[in-house]
Structure 1
Amino acid sequence: MEAAFLVPSQFTFLNLNTLNATTHPKERREHILILTPLKNASPYLGRHFELLDRLSYPKELISIAFLVSDTTDDTVQMLKEYADIFLNRPNRADRFHRIQVFEKDFHYELPEDKRHTYALQPLRRSVMARSRNYLLNTALNEEHSWVLWLDVDIVDYPETVLEDLMSVNVDVVVPNCLLKREDGQFWGYDKNNWQETEESLALQKDLDPDFVFLEGMNDYLCHIANN
């Protein structure tokens, strides 16, 4: 029996060795892709696009992609309306390079007041990972030198945030995400990034190799203490 190999009718070869993200992105005309997964996000879209609109990085070098999942409000329709506005402005310099809206449901429902519960984090984070992978694989193409993950409910960031992050000159950089308290003080909200301590390293010695600390580490410590 002879082996047969089917050759696709369309074949694309991309040599990404020539792709280089630098600390001079404007001068080199480097494109950036901003990615945002969404669910029931209509209350946040106005501010989200307001912040995107004031970015100092050239709009013709910015592409934006959204993945809407398990939504019950008018998020998709609102995104289409905003895309129509920002892609058809009279002045071409005010138009983004591309805006894409994708929709894929994962049939995952979790009450808002339970989303940070420690016991539910593995399931919640697995759905988030699938969502991000779908969005990245669908929207990313060979023209993009940079990718920025941007949550829809962030209320403020500097106009120069893209240039600021690019200037660090590393492969991956994560800015601090802060929450303003009722007393006017700011505290660290994003618990997904931390520096290991002697205490955390000691805890990991007795854990299964596949165990991963997630948001809510204090809950885990309380569980240890109560057992």
Structure 2
Amino acid sequence: MQRGVQLRTAHVHYGPLEALHGVTLAAPAGTVTVLLGRNGSGRTTALRALAGTVPLTAGSVHWDGVDVTRRTAHRRAAAGLCFVPDRQAVFAGLTVAENLRLAAPDGDVTAALDAYPELRPFLGRRAGTLSGGEQRMLAVSRALLSRARVVLVDEPTQGMSPQAASRTYALLRALDACVVLAEQRLPPGLRTDGTARGGGAGGAAAVLVYELGRGAVVFSGEAGELSGPGGSASCRR
């Protein structure tokens, strides 16, 4: 049995428009899998299909070999899946501290503040008053606290400084989880080779890439196989 999450010949429609055309991809446990593509390529839809926030019109979703296509997003979350969308990823009306405490099973938010000390001065502020980059830090730190088995993040570093972005990718690669990210281009922090963790000990996770175009997979392989200045496989199409 392959551990991790998979889409198998997945089709998704938004009204009469088909956003995914039979997409098949596998995100194994112990790796970071990156879904690349321009706006409209289907990368965000694929992530949402894994999370259960958009229904499939055909195909299936599997988690650790079990068909979870009919499980709601709420049930997937309760089973250990954490989804960080690109927008409205925090509770805007709650304080930063309240957002963090809700995500921490034991109420201890130390790990989040160690990861993002920039958030410490804002613990008493409402999350909706933070800048875009600060809200992304808060959203990712909530994912770090959740201890989820599967972590799905759409554009995790949007609005962050280069230093904070680099730290974020290192944190995500160090998670003892199946991590799936949606990005427009392969970030520098994910281009280097990693060593699969094996139980979360030592080394950074290996990085796998699926590039999507117009709702279909146009490239799949390891990060090092990509060509182009931004990590694109467009010349292989």
> Shorter-normalised TM-score: what interval?
under 0.3
Q: TM-score, normalised by structure 1?
A: 0.26
Structure exhibiting the larger radius of gyration computed from Cα positions: 1
Whichever structure has more helix as a proportion of its residues is 1
Whichever structure has more strand as a proportion of its residues is 2
